[in-house]
Chains A and B, each alone.
Chain A
Amino acid sequence: MDPMTFSIIRHRLFRIVDEAVITLKHVSGSAITNEGHDLMVSLYRADGTLLMGGVGFLHHLTSAAEACKSIIRRFEGDIHEGDIFLLNDPYTAALHTSDIYLVSPIHHEGRLVAWSACFVHVYDIGAVNPGGFAPQAPDIYTEGFSSPGIRLVAGGEMRQDVLDTILNMVRSPEMVTLDLRSMIACNNVARDRMQSLMTKYGAKEVDGACAELVNQSEDLFRARLRELPDGQWQSRQYLDVNGETARVNLTMTKKDDRLIFDFSGSDPQSPYSINCTKWASLGGLFAPLFPLLCYDITWNEGVLRPVEMIAPEGSIVNCTRPAPVSVATVGAIQSVNNAACSTIGKMLGASEKYRNQSTAVWHANHFAIFKFGRNQKGGDSIGILTETFAGAGGARSFADGVEIGGEIPNPISRMANVETVEAAFPVRYLFRRRAPDSGGPGEYRGGTGGELALVPHKAPDGGINYVISGKGSRHPMSEGLAGGYPGAPNSYVWVKAPEDGANTPVTAAGGLDAISGTQERVSWGVYPLMGRDALYVRWNGGGGHGDPIVRDPEAVRSDVAAGLVTLQSAGDIYGVALRDGAVDETETMAKRKSIRSARLQQEASE
């Protein structure tokens, strides 16, 4: 086709997705959608295959394609102009029940020509715990409302009985209404713009451009794969929850222009809701694949074609009904993200040309903490601790990771200001800052994660409660690369005030240990933050890249001066000796030599 028209249509498809995202954020107005950018909008072709993926939570791009396909199968012959379908069953296509897909057919001159799909993390889904993550759910039945596909809008008219039924099952139905309205508005914009694109250029021309766009992505991706070395790379992720540890095992094989992700050897599904279904795993591995390998290729079906996934049934990465999955997006899916990031990073690192594109694992583990309770103004407050979106960058082959720099699967997130949180919740921060020794050591250091401490403040009920799905406090998950160490694990500590009646702390410059009281680890369930107690959270840093004992000693010195690396780690891990704030070169050389020979002896003895 004419390259000019192709170029114009391609650009317009991008803008259609942008406009739909803007609409979604406008109408929704919720913090998680607008600040956390926990959303996704994409366009699909008439057969439900991915046409144009937007910059949202990337693990949804492929599972929303499956959502379109399953709606096509389920409603065959009964799909009409102006319909909008709702789907949130994880065993059909969704990631977990609270991430609702709304899927819209797009018709032009009476013919089904394309689909649009979007999701937001709705305010509530009626699970046993509020907010969507349900650590106390033993199975899918207690994780709230779920549908394998239901018509919410018929021919442009809302089906009020269906809407009322859904709203009858959730907390804060008004907020959920707004979430649903935002998705409807978003799909409407996508549909209108697609229709006018087809009116201007012709449905056949547009579909031809779409087909070419998909083929082009496939060709480009296969060409890139052929440039990369053949081989097999492995990664193991350990996901600990409430004292138990589950393993995700990945072997990635690259041959010619194909990639196979094999999760054989992963643990059986867990009794905890960290499991994920196979569509979720597929989405999980594409989340790092798109930005690491296809940063300059349009994200569509063409990128999917060269990729195959093997996920054993009944395992944590392909669980079977009725295993609970509400924590999947920050559980097994994230482990799949991490493992795929690692194996892809190893492959890229083996290529001279693409070495600079490899990265150690970024922010490998969300801590999902939902606070809820009456605030200082007497109103209800409920919301996620947005520091979980703050993340940390993995180290790269040429530079340190970005401190508190976000995560790969969600390219544009941000956290709320301390003042914003303190204005809405009856809490006060003692500190919020980068956490020392959290970035994985390496020639290039992983970006640090952060730490914070909260105390109740002016709370009418003496404090608040929170739901925590806290995993990964025993095993580090931000894997290092090329000899780099992993980033530090998460840590969740309930500091119980001493009995003697000391006041609520006002400051704690020294960190966790400067808060008086007894420390108790928490990770899974619903807990109080009451009275004079404090909650301390440390989130993981990024993995390191390369051997820490070849890191420039000056960089280590500067990290120590900035409080990002402790003096002890500088000596023990980086082999750098500091004297009066300066590098002692002779002693550093000696230290590094002894670390090296200790390693050799260790290998000899093994």
Chain B
Amino acid sequence: MAGTGETSYLVATDVGGTCTDTVIFGTDGVIHIGKALSTPPDFATGVLNSIVSAAEPMGLTLEELLGRTHLFIHGSTVVDNAVLTRDGTPTGLLTTQGFEDTLHVTRGAYGRWSGLTEERIKNPVQTDRAPALAPRDAVVGIPERMDCDGAVVLPLDEAAVEQAVRFLVNEKQVGAIAVSFLWSFLNADHERRVRDIINRVAPGAYVTLSSDIAPNLGEYERTSTAVINAYAGQITNDYLTSLQGLLAEKGYDGATMVMQGYGGLLPAAEAADRAVGMIECGPAAGVIGAKFLGDLMGDPDVIAADMGGTTFKVGVIQDGKLEYAREPMVDRFHYLAPKIEVVSIGAGGGSIISVDPRTKVPHVGPRSAGARPGPICYGQGGEEPTLTDVMLLIGYMDPGQFLNGSITLDREKTERIFKEKIADPLGMSTQEAAIGIYRIASAQITDLIREITVERGLDPRDFVLHSFGGSCGMLAAAFGQELSVRRVIIPYTASVNCAFGLVSADVAHEYSVTQNLPATTSAAQINAIFAPMEERARAQLAAEGIEPDRMRMEWSVDLRYSRQVHEVTTEVAANTPLDDAGAARLVDDFEALYERKYGRGSAYREAGIEMTMFRLTARGLMPRPTLPAEEEGSADASAALIGNREIYVETKGGMAPGDIYDFNRLQPGNSLKGPAVIHTPITTIALPDRMTARMDRWRNIVVEFDAD
């Protein structure tokens, strides 16, 4: 199939916390998948290993593959990693005099409690802020001041700037400098002049201006963003440069596109200057991948759930649209950059099960056995029962069928420890206790997803649930049913979903202008705000080789009711540039969206409506690979039936016989009834009683709840 001279390839590689995944699309329509361990801090090695693992089954060497590759798309945790491990460049900060503490006092208690679980928030005596990425003694206040209209109140003291730069570079030995002045997003003149001075006085220093990286209202978040970007900027730059060098050495001469947290791609050279943009781009790509599948299958409303060894992540796609995070954070630091909302909690297959010795109440997590030592059943030294061990005890995992039989699971040891640590203290049989833990885990995930959807004013009953990751398939049908979602889908590409998301993304640039205007503002005035942004965007896309007919300009405006805090980003649905009817429609759309999100009766029209931010997403459409679809054949799945064993069946209140199927032997169109278990090469799908699973023409498993 592959390997002929005519076929050329699109290679997409996503570096995750544990694994680096690769998806390769050939122009012949065939998809290839590769996987390797991530290799922090030298991520490039893992990237090459992952590509090799996909190329090998194709019968190609790395050089042969790269020689025929026309596009390389990449997502990486390099920035997240630099922040989490505090491995960035020593960074200083220049800010408005009188406000030197802004970064460190984090709007009061905000930075002390943000990012903590409710359990920890309830014990404030044991909470602290994370030490800032720029130490307080590397912050220098500069005499200068703009006001709320961007008018100069106090001119910039250039001599003070020069002195401060010398102090930071010589005494504090910083290699990066962030510059963040009050109101700089309205008038960036002072920040730009500071950059000129730094370039002259300390030409080697990496500089980030807050007005460049986050031209938005709110000095704490804007300053924090500039500091994170300065801190991780050099590392990101070096990484992308060296990765491109390595690929070039191996024969690749095409472009490299880099995934951003907002789900769009940027050319590597631009991505290198916007480190904050890459934060959490992997999970964002995962949501993009789910959206691609949703679009393909005709499902515009999707809850994308991903459960691996340590975390459970949820993204929501509503009406084919993605939601941006309102208060994004990396580690415990706030930043301002468009980022797809993905909620993450510490619950995964490795979550440790415990019984509170005081109350005899069982708990799932929050501690995790992680990849090492891992669950007891993996036999890698794990001595504490985990959720994965429970899955083995209730028959959802087969000791001999795990990861294609590459590891034999230790059932005897798992049972022994689980009995001693969990079942006995609870006064229950091993099986009863394991079933109970499964029910708790399923109920807690249900609660979490319900809370996430409620927060967005959504009803889970309108959604299709996509299940990704190694642990999700064993729970998805159960919690999906309790949430009453329309159906549950375990996609064929579930194991490499983030890499899959990379190939379904477009080039995208985000621009914004912060300006406070009444909703009665004329269409002409709104157009005048967007026109220069569009002009910039078109030039940018053209420079990246995007033809004008592949450019898409998407306008949106943040609106709010006066004296209210909730701002709602409202898409401009009318043709742009706007006419007056289009401008009026924008306001109507805002009002409808507001009530949907915040509930009936939440709108407060009497105070008036204001526009606060004008956003442009400029897209360069990428050629979308097509997923090969097969004919759906017979419903008879018996050829894939490989056995029958005792599994947990909720409707029977305990263990009962269930059919066991091999995913690899299922064919499109095959249909099977629960209670059953389907073993795939990377996961297990548990199908409860009164549900039907079907393999569709893209080899996704579609679970439907039987009508009563």
Contacts and interface: CB of A to CB of B under 8 A. Distances in A.
B447 A415 contact: no
B369 interface: no
A433 B100 CA distance: 7
A300 to B, nearest CB: 13
B108 A415 contact: yes
Interface stretch (A289-297, A315-323, A329-337, A364-372): A289-297
A419 B182 contact: yes
Nearest to B128: A402
B141 A509 contact: yes
Contacts of B123: 291, 295-296
A507 B143 contact: yes
Contacts of A507: 97-98, 143, 145, 154
Contact of A402 (B107, B112, B450, B564): B112
Contacts of B86: none
Given A3-B362, A6-B361, A35-B565, A405 B108 contact: yes
Interface in B432-478: 436-437, 439-440, 443-444, 447-448, 450-451, 454-455, 457
Indicate the size class of the contact surface on chain B.
35 or more
Interface of A: 2-4, 6-8, 10-12, 14-15, 18-19, 22-23, 26-27, 29-31, 34-35, 55, 174-175, 178, 181-182, 184-185, 189, 216, 220, 223, 290-292, 295-296, 356-359, 362, 376, 379, 387, 389-391, 393, 396, 399, 402-408, 411-420, 422-423, 428-434, 450, 457-458, 506-509, 561-562
B109 A414 contact: yes
B530 interface: no
Given A26-B457, A422-B147, A174 B565 contact: no
B371 interface: no
Interface in B522-568: 561-566
Interface of B: 97-102, 104-105, 107-110, 112-113, 118-119, 121-129, 136-137, 141, 143, 145, 147-149, 153-154, 182-183, 217-221, 358-363, 426, 436-437, 439-440, 443-444, 447-448, 450-451, 454-455, 457, 516, 561-566, 597-602, 604, 606-607
A389 B145 contact: no
A413 B137 contact: no
B43 to A, nearest CB: 35
Contacts of A415: 107-108, 110
Contacts of A3: 360-362, 426, 436
Nearest to B144: A507
B98 A508 contact: yes
B101 A181 contact: no
A11 B448 CA distance: 10
A408 B123 CA distance: 9
28 contacts: A3-B361, A3-B436, A11-B444, A18-B118, A19-B451, A26-B457, A29-B602, A30-B563, A184-B601, A185-B599, A216-B359, A216-B361, A295-B125, A356-B125, A359-B125, A402-B112, A402-B127, A403-B105, A406-B124, A408-B124, A411-B109, A414-B109, A415-B108, A419-B217, A422-B147, A431-B97, A458-B148, A506-B154
A514 to B, nearest CB: 10
Nearest to B105: A404
Contacts of B217: 417, 419-420, 423
A429 B96 CA distance: 11
B98 A431 contact: yes
Nearest to B217: A419
In this complex, which of A26, A181, A182, A220 has the most chain B Cβ atoms within 10 angstroms of its Cβ?
A: A26
Given A15-B451, A220-B358, A418-B219, A404 B108 contact: yes
Contacts of B450: 15, 19
A556 B119 CA distance: 33
A528 B277 CA distance: 46
A391 B127 CA distance: 14
Nearest to B606: A174
B109 A390 contact: yes
A349 B356 CA distance: 26
